[in-house]
Amino acid sequence: MKSIAFVATLAAFAAGSAAAQMHHHGHHDASPPTLSQAAAAPLAEGEVRKIDKGAGKITLKHGPIKSIDMPPMTMVFQVKDKAFLDKVKEGDKVRFAAEEKAGAYVVTAIEAAK
């Protein structure tokens, strides 16, 4: 009798677990990413090569930028806020977020790497 109860309990658990997974999976696909999920995206790593405060641009030698599917390279970015350029100096190792806006690549957040 114990083995029948065990099998029934195991079957009920498996059915409940499968239903929970289906519910979670369906819910995940239907929901847009939340702000906290977007903020959790990994920051890219790079090194500041040049700062042009007047033009609001920064040259970064960077690793892969997953958010915009960009391989490692050195390139010039616009900055979302010129105040970002006061946070870093040439030669600094940094972590940053970037996005593409109207054909331009823009640094949307930057911090000195620790």
Note whether 64 and 88 are same-domain residues.
Answer: yes
- Give the tens place of pLDDT for each residue, 85-112: 999 999 999 999 999 999 999 999 999 9
Note whether 13 and 50 are same-domain residues.
Answer: no
Rounded to two decimals, the pTM is: 0.64
- Give the tens place of pLDDT for each residue, 69-82: 999 999 999 999 99
Note whether 46 and 15 are same-domain residues.
Answer: no
Instruction: Tell me which residue range forms the domain holding 102.
Output: 38-112
Beta-carbon count within 10 A of 60 CB: 25
Note whether 76 and 44 are same-domain residues.
Answer: yes
How many contiguous H segments (helices) and E segments (strands) does the chain have? 2, 5
Note whether 71 and 25 are same-domain residues.
Answer: no
Note whether 57 and 84 are same-domain residues.
Answer: yes
Domain count, the chain: 2
Beta-carbon count within 10 A of 72 CB: 12
CATH number at residue 75: 2.40.50.320
